[in-house]
Protein backbone atom coordinates (compact mmCIF):
# COMPACT_ATOMS: atom_id res chain seq x y z
CA UNK A 1 0.00 0.00 0.00
CA UNK A 2 2.84 2.43 0.92
CA UNK A 3 4.65 1.62 -2.30
CA UNK A 4 1.55 2.44 -4.34
CA UNK A 5 1.18 5.86 -2.64
CA UNK A 6 4.84 6.72 -3.38
CA UNK A 7 4.40 5.77 -7.02
CA UNK A 8 1.31 7.97 -7.35
CA UNK A 9 3.07 10.96 -5.71
CA UNK A 10 6.14 10.55 -7.92
CA UNK A 11 3.97 10.55 -11.00
CA UNK A 12 2.00 13.63 -9.86
CA UNK A 13 4.94 16.00 -9.17
CA UNK A 14 6.23 16.22 -12.78
CA UNK A 15 2.70 17.02 -13.95
CA UNK A 16 2.41 19.91 -11.46
CA UNK A 17 5.84 21.30 -12.40
CA UNK A 18 4.98 21.20 -16.10
CA UNK A 19 1.70 22.98 -15.46
CA UNK A 20 3.45 25.84 -13.57
CA UNK A 21 6.01 26.20 -16.35
CA UNK A 22 3.32 26.36 -19.00
CA UNK A 23 1.39 29.03 -17.10
CA UNK A 24 4.58 31.13 -16.74
CA UNK A 25 5.30 30.92 -20.43
CA UNK A 26 1.84 32.00 -21.54
CA UNK A 27 1.48 34.65 -18.77
CA UNK A 28 2.48 38.31 -19.06
CA UNK A 29 5.50 39.93 -17.44
CA UNK A 30 4.98 41.67 -14.10
CA UNK A 31 5.21 45.46 -14.26
CA UNK A 32 6.02 47.66 -11.26
CA UNK A 33 5.19 51.37 -11.05
CA UNK A 34 6.65 53.80 -8.52
CA UNK A 35 4.85 57.16 -8.34
CA UNK A 36 6.77 60.12 -6.94
CA UNK A 37 5.52 63.61 -6.06
CA UNK A 38 7.77 66.68 -5.90
CA UNK A 39 6.83 70.27 -5.10
CA UNK A 40 9.51 72.78 -6.12
CA UNK A 41 9.81 76.29 -4.63
CA UNK A 42 6.37 75.96 -3.05
CA UNK A 43 4.76 76.23 -6.48
CA UNK A 44 5.58 73.69 -9.20
CA UNK A 45 4.11 70.20 -8.70
CA UNK A 46 5.91 67.41 -10.53
CA UNK A 47 4.72 63.82 -10.94
CA UNK A 48 7.24 61.14 -11.87
CA UNK A 49 6.72 57.45 -12.55
CA UNK A 50 9.44 54.81 -12.59
CA UNK A 51 8.38 51.73 -14.57
CA UNK A 52 10.41 48.55 -14.17
CA UNK A 53 10.13 44.81 -14.65
CA UNK A 54 12.08 41.88 -13.31
CA UNK A 55 14.34 40.06 -15.77
CA UNK A 56 16.75 37.31 -14.77
CA UNK A 57 16.26 38.19 -11.11
CA UNK A 58 17.05 41.90 -11.46
CA UNK A 59 14.84 44.96 -11.97
CA UNK A 60 15.16 46.55 -15.40
CA UNK A 61 13.63 49.87 -16.59
CA UNK A 62 10.81 49.75 -19.12
CA UNK A 63 11.04 52.32 -21.91
CA UNK A 64 8.42 53.46 -24.42
CA UNK A 65 5.53 52.85 -22.02
CA UNK A 66 2.66 55.40 -22.10
CA UNK A 67 1.65 56.57 -18.60
CA UNK A 68 -1.58 58.49 -17.92
CA UNK A 69 -1.74 60.84 -14.92
CA UNK A 70 -5.05 61.47 -13.14
CA UNK A 71 -6.17 63.55 -10.19
CA UNK A 72 -8.63 62.10 -7.65
CA UNK A 73 -9.87 59.23 -9.85
CA UNK A 74 -9.21 57.42 -13.11
CA UNK A 75 -11.82 59.15 -15.25
CA UNK A 76 -11.58 61.07 -18.53
CA UNK A 77 -12.54 64.34 -16.85
CA UNK A 78 -9.75 63.95 -14.27
CA UNK A 79 -6.99 63.22 -16.79
CA UNK A 80 -4.06 65.60 -16.24
CA UNK A 81 -1.87 64.40 -19.08
CA UNK A 82 0.20 61.58 -20.56
CA UNK A 83 3.90 60.93 -20.92
CA UNK A 84 6.03 58.04 -22.24
CA UNK A 85 8.83 56.43 -20.23
CA UNK A 86 12.37 57.13 -21.42
CA UNK A 87 15.40 54.86 -21.50
CA UNK A 88 15.61 54.98 -17.70
CA UNK A 89 11.96 53.98 -17.32
CA UNK A 90 10.93 57.48 -16.19
CA UNK A 91 7.79 59.38 -17.20
CA UNK A 92 7.33 62.97 -16.00
CA UNK A 93 4.42 65.39 -15.86
CA UNK A 94 4.14 68.92 -14.45
CA UNK A 95 0.76 69.67 -12.91
CA UNK A 96 -0.72 72.89 -14.39
CA UNK A 97 -0.55 75.95 -12.12
CA UNK A 98 -4.29 76.55 -12.38
CA UNK A 99 -5.16 73.29 -10.63
CA UNK A 100 -7.57 73.61 -7.72
CA UNK A 101 -5.91 73.64 -4.28
CA UNK A 102 -7.21 71.30 -1.61
CA UNK A 103 -6.11 70.02 1.79
CA UNK A 104 -5.08 66.74 0.19
CA UNK A 105 -4.58 65.43 -3.34
CA UNK A 106 -4.90 61.97 -4.80
CA UNK A 107 -2.74 61.35 -7.86
CA UNK A 108 -3.10 58.21 -9.97
CA UNK A 109 -0.72 56.86 -12.62
CA UNK A 110 -2.09 54.26 -15.04
CA UNK A 111 -0.55 52.27 -17.90
CA UNK A 112 -2.40 50.67 -20.79
CA UNK A 113 -2.45 46.93 -21.30
CA UNK A 114 -0.23 45.38 -23.99
CA UNK A 115 0.95 42.01 -25.26
CA UNK A 116 3.73 42.11 -22.67
CA UNK A 117 2.11 43.78 -19.64
CA UNK A 118 -1.27 43.94 -17.96
CA UNK A 119 -2.69 47.39 -17.09
CA UNK A 120 -1.13 48.70 -13.86
CA UNK A 121 -2.09 51.66 -11.68
CA UNK A 122 -0.34 53.36 -8.77
CA UNK A 123 -1.93 55.86 -6.38
CA UNK A 124 -0.41 58.42 -4.01
CA UNK A 125 -2.21 60.69 -1.53
CA UNK A 126 -0.40 63.97 -0.83
CA UNK A 127 -1.35 66.59 1.75
CA UNK A 128 -1.06 70.25 0.79
CA UNK A 129 1.91 72.01 2.41
CA UNK A 130 3.81 75.27 2.49
CA UNK A 131 7.59 74.84 2.43
CA UNK A 132 9.78 77.94 2.58
CA UNK A 133 13.44 78.81 3.07
CA UNK A 134 14.82 82.18 4.14
CA UNK A 135 18.50 83.19 4.29
CA UNK A 136 19.80 85.75 6.78
CA UNK A 137 23.15 87.35 7.54
CA UNK A 138 23.89 89.45 10.61
CA UNK A 139 27.36 90.39 11.90
CA UNK A 140 28.95 87.86 9.51
CA UNK A 141 26.73 85.12 11.00
CA UNK A 142 24.87 83.36 8.20
CA UNK A 143 21.80 81.24 8.84
CA UNK A 144 19.29 79.20 6.88
CA UNK A 145 15.69 79.41 8.17
CA UNK A 146 13.27 76.62 7.23
CA UNK A 147 9.48 76.61 7.64
CA UNK A 148 7.11 73.71 6.94
CA UNK A 149 3.36 74.16 7.38
CA UNK A 150 0.35 72.04 6.46
CA UNK A 151 -3.31 73.05 6.17
CA UNK A 152 -6.43 71.88 7.96
CA UNK A 153 -9.88 71.48 6.44
CA UNK A 154 -10.56 75.22 6.84
CA UNK A 155 -7.32 76.21 5.09
CA UNK A 156 -5.57 77.32 8.28
CA UNK A 157 -1.83 76.70 8.56
CA UNK A 158 -0.72 73.96 10.95
CA UNK A 159 2.99 73.57 11.87
CA UNK A 160 4.65 70.30 10.88
CA UNK A 161 6.99 69.15 13.64
CA UNK A 162 9.64 66.46 13.42
CA UNK A 163 10.19 66.68 9.66
CA UNK A 164 13.75 66.11 8.46
CA UNK A 165 15.13 68.78 6.14
CA UNK A 166 18.35 68.22 4.17
CA UNK A 167 20.42 71.24 3.16
CA UNK A 168 22.67 71.29 0.09
CA UNK A 169 24.70 73.57 -2.12
CA UNK A 170 24.06 73.11 -5.81
CA UNK A 171 27.20 72.28 -7.74
CA UNK A 172 27.87 71.56 -11.41
CA UNK A 173 27.45 67.78 -11.16
CA UNK A 174 25.15 67.38 -8.15
CA UNK A 175 24.31 68.54 -4.64
CA UNK A 176 26.91 69.06 -1.91
CA UNK A 177 25.51 68.40 1.62
CA UNK A 178 25.93 71.26 4.08
CA UNK A 179 26.04 68.88 7.07
CA UNK A 180 26.22 65.20 7.85
CA UNK A 181 22.82 65.09 9.58
CA UNK A 182 19.53 66.67 8.48
CA UNK A 183 17.83 69.50 10.35
CA UNK A 184 14.55 68.70 12.18
CA UNK A 185 11.59 71.08 12.44
CA UNK A 186 10.41 72.07 15.93
CA UNK A 187 6.87 72.43 17.27
CA UNK A 188 6.47 75.59 15.20
CA UNK A 189 7.43 73.76 12.02
CA UNK A 190 10.69 75.68 11.85
CA UNK A 191 14.39 74.84 11.77
CA UNK A 192 17.50 77.05 11.78
CA UNK A 193 20.93 75.99 10.52
CA UNK A 194 24.21 77.90 10.60
CA UNK A 195 25.97 78.39 7.28
CA UNK A 196 29.68 78.31 8.01
CA UNK A 197 30.89 76.56 4.86
CA UNK A 198 33.56 78.33 2.84
CA UNK A 199 33.07 77.34 -0.77
CA UNK A 200 33.66 78.81 -4.19
CA UNK A 201 30.82 80.43 -6.12
CA UNK A 202 30.59 81.99 -9.55
CA UNK A 203 32.44 85.14 -10.61
CA UNK A 204 30.08 87.21 -8.45
CA UNK A 205 30.30 84.82 -5.48
CA UNK A 206 26.78 83.47 -5.94
CA UNK A 207 25.74 80.10 -4.54
CA UNK A 208 22.45 78.21 -4.82
CA UNK A 209 21.30 76.85 -1.43
CA UNK A 210 18.85 73.95 -1.64
CA UNK A 211 16.52 72.69 1.11
CA UNK A 212 14.78 69.34 0.62
CA UNK A 213 12.26 67.19 2.43
CA UNK A 214 12.81 63.77 0.92
CA UNK A 215 10.25 60.96 0.53
CA UNK A 216 7.92 62.18 3.29
CA UNK A 217 4.98 59.79 3.65
CA UNK A 218 2.48 62.68 3.88
CA UNK A 219 3.98 65.50 1.80
CA UNK A 220 6.16 63.65 -0.71
CA UNK A 221 9.30 65.46 -1.85
CA UNK A 222 9.57 69.18 -1.14
CA UNK A 223 12.34 71.38 -2.52
CA UNK A 224 13.25 75.05 -2.23
CA UNK A 225 16.18 76.88 -3.85
CA UNK A 226 17.59 80.36 -3.30
CA UNK A 227 20.58 82.17 -4.77
CA UNK A 228 22.79 84.13 -2.39
CA UNK A 229 26.24 85.79 -2.48
CA UNK A 230 27.81 83.61 0.19
CA UNK A 231 30.51 82.01 -1.93
CA UNK A 232 34.08 82.90 -2.71
CA UNK A 233 34.13 84.72 -6.07
CA UNK A 234 35.67 82.74 -8.90
CA UNK A 235 38.81 84.43 -10.23
CA UNK A 236 39.55 83.58 -13.85
CA UNK A 237 43.28 83.40 -14.62
CA UNK A 238 43.98 85.62 -17.66
CA UNK A 239 46.93 83.37 -18.56
CA UNK A 240 44.73 80.28 -18.59
CA UNK A 241 44.29 80.50 -22.36
CA UNK A 242 47.92 81.35 -23.07
CA UNK A 243 49.90 79.09 -25.39
CA UNK A 244 51.68 76.75 -23.00
CA UNK A 245 52.81 73.15 -23.10
CA UNK A 246 50.04 72.06 -20.68
CA UNK A 247 47.30 74.15 -22.34
CA UNK A 248 44.42 72.73 -24.35
CA UNK A 249 44.89 71.65 -27.95
CA UNK A 250 43.55 74.93 -29.34
CA UNK A 251 46.11 76.87 -27.24
CA UNK A 252 49.16 74.65 -27.85
CA UNK A 253 52.49 76.48 -28.40
CA UNK A 254 53.43 77.20 -32.03
CA UNK A 255 56.74 75.34 -31.79
CA UNK A 256 54.97 72.23 -30.52
CA UNK A 257 52.50 72.35 -33.43
CA UNK A 258 55.40 72.74 -35.91
CA UNK A 259 57.39 69.86 -34.38
CA UNK A 260 54.43 67.46 -34.27
CA UNK A 261 53.30 68.26 -37.81
CA UNK A 262 56.89 67.94 -39.11
CA UNK A 263 57.15 64.49 -37.52
CA UNK A 264 53.84 63.45 -39.05
CA UNK A 265 54.89 64.68 -42.50
CA UNK A 266 58.20 62.83 -42.15
CA UNK A 267 56.54 59.58 -41.10
CA UNK A 268 53.95 59.70 -43.87
CA UNK A 269 56.70 60.66 -46.34
CA UNK A 270 58.69 57.54 -45.46
CA UNK A 271 55.59 55.36 -45.75
CA UNK A 272 54.73 56.80 -49.19
CA UNK A 273 58.35 56.42 -50.34
CA UNK A 274 58.35 52.75 -49.32
CA UNK A 275 55.04 52.16 -51.14
CA UNK A 276 56.46 53.88 -54.24
CA UNK A 277 59.57 51.64 -54.18
CA UNK A 278 57.42 48.53 -53.75
CA UNK A 279 55.34 49.61 -56.77
CA UNK A 280 58.50 50.14 -58.87
CA UNK A 281 59.88 46.76 -57.81
CA UNK A 282 56.63 45.07 -58.82
CA UNK A 283 56.77 46.79 -62.24
CA UNK A 284 60.40 45.76 -62.77
CA UNK A 285 59.52 42.19 -61.80
CA UNK A 286 56.60 42.13 -64.26
CA UNK A 287 58.77 43.50 -67.10
CA UNK A 288 61.53 40.99 -66.37
CA UNK A 289 59.00 38.14 -66.39
CA UNK A 290 57.63 39.22 -69.80
CA UNK A 291 61.13 39.47 -71.33
CA UNK A 292 62.00 35.98 -70.18
CA UNK A 293 58.86 34.58 -71.74
CA UNK A 294 59.73 36.26 -75.08
CA UNK A 295 63.27 34.84 -74.97
CA UNK A 296 61.89 31.34 -74.45
CA UNK A 297 59.52 31.73 -77.42
CA UNK A 298 62.39 32.72 -79.75
Cα separation values, 194 from 94, 137, 143, 162, 187, Å: 33, 10, 4, 19, 19
Model confidence over 204-233: pLDDT tens digits? 999 999 999 999 999 999 999 999 999 999
Residue by residue, what is the 3-state secondary structure of the chain?
Answer: CHHHHHHHHHHHHHHHHHHHHHHHHHCCCCCEEEEEEEEECCCEEEEEEEEEEEECCEEEECCCCEEEEEECCCCHHHEEEEEECCCCCEEEEEECCCCCCCCEEEEEEEECCCCCCCCCEEEEEEECEEEEEEEEEECCEEEEEEEEEEECCCCCEEECCCCEEEEEEEECCEEEECCCCCEECCCCCEEEEECCCCCECCCCCCEEEEEEEEEECCCEEEEEEEEECCCECCCCCCCCCCCCCCCCHHHCCHHHHHHHHHHHHHHHHHHHHHHHHHHHHHHHHHHHHHHHHHHHHC
Spell out the per-residue pLDDT of the chain, length 298, in tens.
444 444 444 444 343 333 333 333 456 888 999 999 999 999 999 999 999 999 888 999 999 999 999 998 999 999 999 999 999 999 999 998 876 677 888 999 999 988 889 999 999 999 999 999 999 998 889 999 999 999 988 889 999 999 999 999 999 899 999 988 999 999 999 999 999 888 999 889 999 999 999 999 999 999 999 999 999 998 877 666 666 666 666 677 788 888 889 999 999 999 999 999 998 888 887 877 777 777 776 6
End-to-end CA distance of the chain: 106
List Cβ neighbours of 187 (8 Å cut-off, separation of 6 or more).
Answer: 159, 161
List, in order of start, the domains of the chain with CATH numbers: 32-127 (2.60.40.10), 129-228 (2.60.40.10)
Model confidence over 150-195: pLDDT tens digits? 998 888 999 999 999 999 999 989 999 998 899 999 999 999 999 9
Amino acid sequence: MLLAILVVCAAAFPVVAQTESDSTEVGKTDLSLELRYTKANNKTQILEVLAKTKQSGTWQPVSGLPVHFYRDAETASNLLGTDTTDGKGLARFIVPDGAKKEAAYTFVAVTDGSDQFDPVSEEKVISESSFDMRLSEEDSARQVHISLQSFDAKGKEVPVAGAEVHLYIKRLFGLLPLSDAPETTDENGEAIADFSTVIGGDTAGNLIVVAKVEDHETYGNLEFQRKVKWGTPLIIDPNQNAQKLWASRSNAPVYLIVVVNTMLVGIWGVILYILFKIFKISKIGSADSRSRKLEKQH
